[in-house]
Amino acid sequence: MKVGDDWVLCFPELPNISCWKPPSNWAETLFINIVLYSISALTAVLNLLIIISVSHFRQLHTPTNIVLLSLAVSDFLVGLLLMPADALKKTHCWLFGYFVCSLYRFVSETILSASVVNMVLISVDRYVAICDPLHYTTRITVKRVQFCVWLLWSCSIAYNTYFFFLHYDQQLYYLPCHGDCIILSDNMGAVLDLVLNFFVPVTVIIVLYTGVFVVAVSQARAMRSHITAVTKQISVTKTAKKSELKAARTLGVLVVVFLMCFTPSYFSSLVGYEYLSYSKAYFVQYLYYFNSCLNPVVYALFYPWFRKTVKLIVTLQILQPGSCEANIL
């Protein structure tokens, strides 16, 4: 990031090794802290409601909702851990040392990787549901999806743990300055991260949802032209497909919002954050974080069951015996 002429040293007594920070007064710092920590708390609370809803009510134990639960967990961790840490970085000098900074980067990258793969799983789920509905219930089961979710989190943790220990000593030796949480990355690691966490998953998501869109258009044209089926099975299949198309549109909104918030961060990494101003760099960062707050809003707008479960949770009705069997669909 570009350093302005009016920036100040984090450690004036150590000018040769101290990082710089932008100037700020107490009123500005207070306002920024209130806004950022409020968004952080809202993100954590909303996603916690998703986690409780899907975990508690048996009717919501479906393959699609298992993936949404995994996504809510990653969004919850963003609100609970990443947003407060980044708010601290924005308004204060980093005083927790390089190890905690590296740990923050490890958690951030792990959550990022898991979120991306969750979006791929959502796309796969909708693709099979729309394009091959007759085999959906046999191919996409709760146990298989649970295994996929466990696998994605395990791989994400293992992948980032490897790079954490691989580069820790090297980056500690080349630590540019003290007072900021700056993580260096080599070109090979940056390219690998860009390919695995951006180009490959985004390409898969676009290809799968293009297939869903094509099928959705053909379904709409068939209904408009009043093509009727002569067997009951086909009629039932069309009704099921209509329901699945509605779900696909809802999850499509989720994917589009994710890509809108996610893409600028990786384009900025291509250009280089050092070429961005301080305010632009943090805007790109918080745009990605803000996606974690928008996801529950999408659920609230498009999923009636979420509004029902929130009411049951807030009024503590979930504490009653047998509440997990409540009819909320």
Report DSSP state, residue 93.
-
Q: What is the C-alpha separation between 203 and 290, in angstroms, rounded? A: 23
pTM over 0.75: yes
Position 58 scores a pLDDT of 92
Q: What is the C-alpha separation between 157 and 187, in angstroms, rounded? A: 21
Interaxial angle between packed helices 97-131 and 200-224, expressed in degrees from 0 to 180 and rounded to the nearest 10? 30
Position 3 scores a pLDDT of 54
Among residues 299, 301, 324, 269, the alpha carbon closest in space to that of 50 is found at 299
For residue 1 the two structure tokens come to: 């990031």
Do residues 215 and 131 make contact, with C-beta atoms less than 8 angstroms apart?
A: yes
Among residues 45, 8, 41, the alpha carbon closest in space to that of 23 is found at 8
What stretches in the chain show pLDDT beneath 50? 227-240
Position 235 scores a pLDDT of 46
Among residues 186, 189, 168, 18, the alpha carbon closest in space to that of 98 is found at 168
Position 231 scores a pLDDT of 45
Q: Which residues contact 86 (CB under 8 A, 6 or more apart)?
A: 36, 282, 285, 286, 289
Position 265 scores a pLDDT of 74
> For residue range 233-287, what is the model confidence (pLDDT) as tens digits?
444 444 445 555 566 676 677 778 888 887 777 776 666 555 556 666 677 777 8
- Domains located in the chain, CATH noted: 29-325 (1.20.1070.10)
Q: What is the C-alpha separation between 234 and 276, in angstroms, rounded? A: 56
